[in-house]
Amino acid sequence: MKKILLFLMAISFTGGFHPLSSAAPSLTSIFINELHYENTGTDTGEAIEIAGPVGTNLAGWSIVLYNGANSETYDTDALSGTIPDLCDGFGVITLNYPQDGLQNGSPDGIALVNSSSTVIQFLSYEGSFTAANGPANGMTSTDISVTESTSTPVGDSLQLTGTGTQYEDFTWASSSPETFGDCNTDQTFTGSGDTPPTINNTAPEDTETGIAVDFTISISFDEDVTVIGSWFTFICNVTGVHTATITGGPQDFTINPDVDFNPRETCTLTVDKNQVEDQDGTPDNMVADYTFAFSTGHWVINEIYSDPADGLSGDANGDGIRDASQDEFLEIVNYTGATVDISNWVISDETTARHIFPPDTLVPDSCPILIFGGGTPTGLFGNAIVHTASTGQLNLANSGDTVAMDNGILSQASYIYGVEGNNNVSLTRDPDITGSEPLVAHHTATGSGGTLFSPGKKSMGQTFQNVICPSTTFKKAEQPVLWLVWK
């Protein structure tokens, strides 16, 4: 609508300004959010948009239009309806106007009035002025400081941008393509309202290592959620896709895999954003998929003694006799995080199988298991479980060999050594369990005091962890067995 100029010779007041019914709130949660009043050619698509928290009933509210030329009202339009959930707990309602329904400024104003006749906002464009009548009588408008003109493209509007929940959090931006009836471009509502669900924490945490092979996974959301169908995918690089039994909810869930993990593998779990929705207000899905990964613990070949020293200094099994074959040993530590039944598992070298673990061989987490070549191991050997090779010997090559432990399907631990095994001293990790490869000569390991070996104990002479391992058992060599080993 083109400017209507009213020239008044005189204005007389008989009762002064009309007082406001109450003061407007200091922070404005319901506000004018978008405006279009002028464009190139014939004005079209003129509108005013109101934003506020979802569920707000605008019955009794109104928009009052002011002509800045005479500071008086020229139109009053009732608002109605309930604000829908369009913008994460907030929404908008649009009041559309006919061609030239909104005046073109220099300046003009808009008052947002609630159902109690309180002026919530008195905004203007292309300048400011003081209202001479109506609900904003005596109030000075706030200029939004951006304008439209006869060069504004058809389909543009003036919009609030920024992040927040109150009018004061946002800033008016120059004209851009209109978004009436939807969230504004570059505007984000946060901090309150109905926000999408997110994952607070998981166990294991992302990138966590040393997870037990029988670990039960937990996922905690920041609010009550409904999970739908196959709401996650779970795959490990050795054991493949996992199914699981799911319990708990609606906020904290446990996922118990139907099959244990394999030691020394990496697993990845991804929660599908489209299959998780919150239970408050309008259901919201997660904004993005959530992925976390972890790796399981493993068996550690911690010490290898392939070349017993001459004399009693090489008597590793403690039976009072130095024997080049019987005093050889392997020390392997359960670092999987769980008790593991290793019945029928096989120890082999590069040539053939050397030992098979008998039935009911249970190894608790953090316990070492010690396999001597033979003899009668004598002593406590820390808290280790002690066996002698079921084939009668380990027969480890002094100048280099491959030692391995497998469960009949997959290798669980292996190590390759070279000529360093031919020095009358064991090879050990430094530090124990977590030390990197290659293994070092025992007498050079940190805290070893120059000792040649430490079967069943750490290189410093300490036991492995503060755990109770099964009673030490000695397994004598049994009848020869034909072993088939796949390499």
Quick check: 211 pLDDT over 50?
Answer: yes
Domain boundaries, the chain: 31-189, 199-296, 298-444
Answer left, alpha or beta for residue 200, where phi above 0 means left and psi between -120 and 50 means alpha.
alpha
How many helices, marked H, and strands, marked E, lie in the chain? 0, 34
Positive or negative CA dihedral for 116, 120, 122, 125? negative
Token digits for 460?
A: 């410093």
pLDDT band at 257 (very low <50, low <70, confident <90, very high): very high
What residues contact residue 263 under an 8 Å CB cut-off, 6+ apart?
A: 213, 296, 297, 298, 299, 335, 336, 412, 413
Token digits for 452?
A: 């040649």
Nearest to 440 by CA among 456, 417, 461: 417
Nearest to 329 by CA among 148, 456, 463: 456
C-alpha dihedral, 9 to 13 to 14 to 17, nearest 10°: 160
Nearest to 236 by CA among 211, 254, 218: 211
Contact 299, 429 (CB under 8 A): no
pLDDT band at 20 (very low <50, low <70, confident <90, very high): very low
Cα three-residue angle 11-16-22, rounded to 5 degrees: 135
Quick check: 17 pLDDT over 60?
Answer: no
The distance of Cα 429 from the centroid of its chain, to the nearest Å, equals 34
What does the pLDDT read at residue 13?
Answer: 29
d(CA 283, CA 291): 22
Amino acid, single-letter form, for residue 16:
G
What does the pLDDT read at residue 484?
Answer: 34
Whole-number percent of the chain with pLDDT over 70: 89
Token digits for 425?
A: 């001293």
What does the pLDDT read at residue 242?
Answer: 97
Nearest to 128 by CA among 155, 151, 107: 107
What does the pLDDT read at residue 467?
Answer: 67
> Alpha helix (H) ranges present in 134-255?
none
Token digits for 332?
A: 């392997």
Tens digit of each residue's pLDDT (9 = 90 or more) over 212-242: 888 999 999 998 999 999 999 999 999 999 9
What does the pLDDT read at residue 55?
Answer: 86
Around Cβ 361, how many Cβ atoms within 10 Å?
19
Higher pLDDT, 318 or 10: 318
Segment 398-410 shows an average pLDDT of 92
**Topology of 298-444 in CATH?**
Immunoglobulin-like (2.60.40)
**pTM for the complete prediction?**
0.52
d(CA 284, CA 278): 5
What residues contact residue 150 under an 8 Å CB cut-off, 6+ apart?
A: 38, 39, 40
pLDDT band at 11 (very low <50, low <70, confident <90, very high): very low
Token digits for 67?
A: 């002509």
Specify the 3-state DSSP secondary structure of 485: coil
Quick check: 14 pLDDT over 90?
Answer: no
Tens digit of each residue's pLDDT (9 = 90 or more) over 356-365: 999 999 999 9
Segment 400-412 shows an average pLDDT of 91
Q: Which residue has the tokens 């977590």?
A: 434
What does the pLDDT read at residue 463?
Answer: 92
Token digits for 481?
A: 């067995």
Nearest to 421 by CA among 396, 404, 446, 451: 396
Segment 160-189 shows an average pLDDT of 94
Whether 199-296 shares its CATH topology with 298-444 is answered: yes
What does the pLDDT read at residue 472?
Answer: 56
> Alpha helix (H) ranges present in 73-221?
none
* Radius of gyration of the chain from its Cα atoms, rounded to whole angstroms: 39
What does the pLDDT read at residue 408?
Answer: 87
Token digits for 410?
A: 């997959």
d(CA 93, CA 72): 25
Q: Which CATH number fits domain 199-296: 2.102.10.10, 2.60.40.3710, 3.40.640.10, 1.10.3470.10?
A: 2.60.40.3710
d(CA 415, CA 305): 13
pLDDT band at 171 (very low <50, low <70, confident <90, very high): very high
What residues contact residue 202 under an 8 Å CB cut-off, 6+ apart?
A: 217, 218, 219, 220, 269, 292
Segment 419-432 shows an average pLDDT of 97
d(CA 205, CA 218): 10
401-406 and 346-348 beta bridge pairing: antiparallel
